[in-house]
Amino acid sequence: MNFELNDDHLSVQELCRDFAKKYIAPTIQENDRAHKFDPTLLDKMADADILGICIPEKYGGAGMDYISLGLACEELEYIDASARVVLSVHIGLNSLTLLSYGNQFQKEKYLVPQARGEKISTFGLTEPNAGSDVVGIQTTAVKKGDKYILNGEKMWISLADVADNFLIFAWTDQDKKKRRDHSGISCFIVEKSFPGVTTGSIHGKLGVRAGNTGWISMQ
């Protein structure tokens, strides 16, 4: 097996290394001390085609492979972890989930603008009293007509206060919830603009202080 990086990988590595030095390094100490997230960084990442680096070109991405995503994460995190978190969450948790499991309508409506960096996305699983214990979540989704009504709180969500689109996990089967059967949990695409959705930022973190971490409320 050949473990050498090919020319495309080396190009991605150089691109992201130069990007981090130019746009992240000059202000990271100040932003970290101030617990300040710089939203303009997302625009710069979009302009550099980083926010859709491993999403197929037909869905607005750069069409690179997962090694390229790993290299991008490595180079950004070398300067600051908060920039790497953007890729891990926006691409790794949300966009790649849509690519794997979304239908064509969902891919065209949500994945394409996310890959282009026109929309920012995140992943809402963790709650105030549940995280790794997935079946401990309390958020529910009740079907009314052709819609679902979601109620619950998500906590410690990366990009919560800057993202446009969320993947939210909620119980849709109360009997399975009682049995702690995770197959009763469903995933929903939720837009920040939906009625009843509010978000906020968490301050005073011990680490990743230049990144946006927050909460999502659905009532």
Give the HSE-up count for residue 46: Cα atoms under 13 Å, Cβ half-sphere: 17
Please give the Cα distance from 20 to 127 (Å, whole number): 32
Which pLDDT score, from 0 to 100, does residue 140 have? 98
Q: Which domains does the chain have, with CATH numbers?
A: 8-119 (1.10.540.10), 122-218 (2.40.110.10)
173-214 pLDDT tens trace: 999 999 999 999 999 999 999 999 999 999 999 999 999 999
pTM value is: 0.94
Pairing label, strands 213-218, 147-158: antiparallel
C-alpha angle 42/89/208, rounded to 5°?
Answer: 75
| 69-119 residue pLDDT tens | 999 999 999 999 999 999 999 999 999 999 999 999 999 999 999 999 999
Decide: 139 and 188 in contact? Cβ < 8 Å: no
Tell me what the mean pLDDT of segment 47-56 comes to: 97
Residue 89, pLDDT score: 98
pLDDT value for 134: 96
Beta-bridge partner residues of 152:
218
Strand locations in the chain, DSSP E?
121-124, 140-144, 147-158, 165-171, 185-191, 197-201, 213-218
Is the confidence at residue 3, as pLDDT, over 90?
A: no
**pLDDT (tens digit per residue) in 10-38:** 999 999 999 999 999 999 999 999 999 99
Asked if the model's pLDDT at residue 2 lies above 90, the reply is no
pLDDT (0 to 100) of residue 212: 97
pLDDT in tens, 109-150: 999 999 999 999 999 999 999 988 999 999 999 999 999 999
